[in-house]
Amino acid sequence: MINLDLTNLEKIDPAHGISKEELSSKESLIPAYLEKIKNRDQGFYTVIDEEAPIAKIEEYAMKVRGKYSHIVVLGIGGSSLGTICLQQSLLHLYQNELKTTSAPRLHVLDNIDPVLLKELEDVIDYSKTLFIVVTKSGTTPEILAQYHYFRKQIEKHSLEPKEHLAFVTDPEKGTLRDIANIENIPAFEIPENIGGRFSVLTAVGLLPAKLIGLDIRALIEGAKEMRDNFLQTSNNLAFQIAAIQHTLGEKGKTMNVMMPYAQKLIRFADWYRQLLAESIGKKFNDAGEEVFVGLTPINALGVTDQHSQSQLYNEGPNDKLLIFLENKDANIDLEIPELYEGTTFKKLLDIELKATADSLTKNDRPNFKIQVESVTEESIGQLFMLMEGATAFLGEFYGINAFDQPGVELSKELTRKALL
């Protein structure tokens, strides 16, 4: 199970940190906040109990096993970031260069830069490629543009679209659902009550994960373990994180830096960046009052960004909360020869994490650790649910709807109008 190490928050000036007593005093809010979350009718923590979607994905994966050398996901934001995280966290870091695996290569096109599209075509064989088109509404301009381009290319190669396309979209309506129904293209559902940034544990993330050989049932089991903790009224890890973020936000720490000390977790920080920014940055509260609340997410990577950002974090404005992700596992390690006798790279990494956290603490900069025992499907499932739960609680702390995104929708609307 994931552990929170909050000791450094208690060591600094109370004006910049949070004591154990201050944190525990907020636990009385949990039942009311859980009830409010329940009343918002969001499915991010209940969809993992549904067997049918998982069975459908597994059946499809078995049917197409060995058919494709490349899986291309056409998606952006919540339709892509979770998949990128799963790829980075759970596959070999040099998967595409490995000659010993028969698993399909995964490519996620989360931009419309034509260079990205054209250079993908330099490495794929259309006859052995599956394009997974991900858009809940079926109207996202960027994804529809990608879809029409690659569909035309599929047809130019004299290939059958239904053999090289799969859709992940709304269960009943939208452009892609209509096309799927007419042309018998395989289609998977994003439940109506799950927004894109909360959708990684639906077919959005699970379909590509299964196709590249990941254990999606272990991913779901990890999420269930953390979901059970999310529903507890004591020792609730998601609530503790939200309470820390809100309390320190009120103390001027309006920037949250997520800094994994694990190469495999850097894309988790990318995924979380959208989750926090899009969920909590809101103009109006539940009462319709203008509040302009939000926390600004920042990504960093240990030890890389000790050499590019830590000067600012230690001596710049004291407006940041540092959230470290620590992988406790030393399963893979290498001894450092000559320079530091008896020291391994993992030990050095751990020393540098401690030194970074200690330096921040000495400078009254709030920081805490989220610790995982190892990076596996189970622990990634736990992390997804932990931060989704924390974000849901954080919305209730601020009295806003963490599950809508009117600012994003306005941008989409203006884009569509400009294209008419």
> In this structure, are 203 and 324 located in the same domain?
no
Paired residues of 299 in beta bridges: 258
> In this structure, are 25 and 53 located in the same domain?
no
> In this structure, are 122 and 250 located in the same domain?
no
From 154, 187, 218, the end of a domain falls on 218
Cα 22 to Cα 244: distance, rounded to the nearest angstrom: 10
Q: How does the average pLDDT of the chain come out, rounded?
A: 95
Q: Are 373 and 329 in contact (CB under 8 A)?
A: yes
pLDDT reading at 416 higher than 80 = no
Q: What is the pLDDT of residue 206?
A: 98
34 part of a folded domain: yes
> In this structure, are 65 and 166 located in the same domain?
yes
Residue-wise pLDDT for 9-23, tens only, equals 999 999 999 999 999
> In this structure, are 187 and 313 located in the same domain?
no
> In this structure, are 133 and 244 located in the same domain?
no
> In this structure, are 10 and 121 located in the same domain?
no
Q: Which amino acid is located at 261 in the chain? A: Y
Residue-wise pLDDT for 258-306, tens only, equals 999 999 999 999 999 999 999 999 999 999 999 999 999 999 999 999 9
> In this structure, are 153 and 11 located in the same domain?
no
Residue-wise pLDDT for 86-103, tens only, equals 999 999 999 888 867 788
Residue-wise pLDDT for 232-247, tens only, equals 999 999 999 999 999 9
In the three-class reduction of DSSP (H, G, I as helix; E, B as strand; rest coil), residue 275 is classed as: helix
pLDDT reading at 407 higher than 90 = no
Q: What is the pLDDT of residue 341?
A: 77
Catalogue the active-site residues.
278, 307, 412
Count of the separate structural domains present in the chain: 2
139 part of a folded domain: yes
223 part of a folded domain: no
Q: Are 109 and 74 in contact (CB under 8 A)?
A: yes
Q: What is the pLDDT of residue 138?
A: 84
pLDDT reading at 400 higher than 90 = yes
Q: What is the pLDDT of residue 415?
A: 75
From 157, 190, 218, the end of a domain falls on 218
Radius of gyration for the chain, computed over Cα atoms and rounded to the nearest angstrom:
22
Residue-wise pLDDT for 185-231, tens only, equals 999 999 999 999 999 999 999 999 999 999 999 999 999 999 999 99
pLDDT reading at 41 higher than 80 = yes
> In this structure, are 84 and 176 located in the same domain?
yes
For residue 399, give both structure tokens. 């009295």
Q: What is the CATH number for 192? A: 3.40.50.10490
419 part of a folded domain: no
DSSP string, 83-102: HHHHHHHHS-TTGGG-SS--
> In this structure, are 264 and 399 located in the same domain?
yes
225 part of a folded domain: no
- The pTM for the full model equals 0.97
State the residue range of the domain holding 283: 3-40+231-409
> In this structure, are 36 and 66 located in the same domain?
no
Beta-strand ranges (E) seen in 222-381 are 255-261, 282-284, 290-293, 296-299, 320-327, 367-372
Cα 90 to Cα 20: distance, rounded to the nearest angstrom: 35
pLDDT reading at 31 higher than 90 = yes
Q: How far is C-alpha 241 from the geometric centre of its chain's CA atoms?
A: 16
- In order of 106, 249, 351, the CA distances from 313 in angstroms are 35, 16, 18
From 218, 243, 275, the end of a domain falls on 218
Give the confidence band of 29 by pLDDT, cuts at 50, 70, 90. very high
> In this structure, are 153 and 106 located in the same domain?
yes
28 part of a folded domain: yes
Q: Which long-range contacts (CB under 8 A, 24 or more apart) does 100-105 make?
A: 102/66, 103/212, 103/213, 104/68, 104/69, 104/70, 104/71, 104/130, 104/211, 104/212, 105/69, 105/70, 105/71
70 part of a folded domain: yes
User: Cβ–Cβ contacts within 10 Å for residue 157, how many?
Assistant: 12
161 part of a folded domain: yes
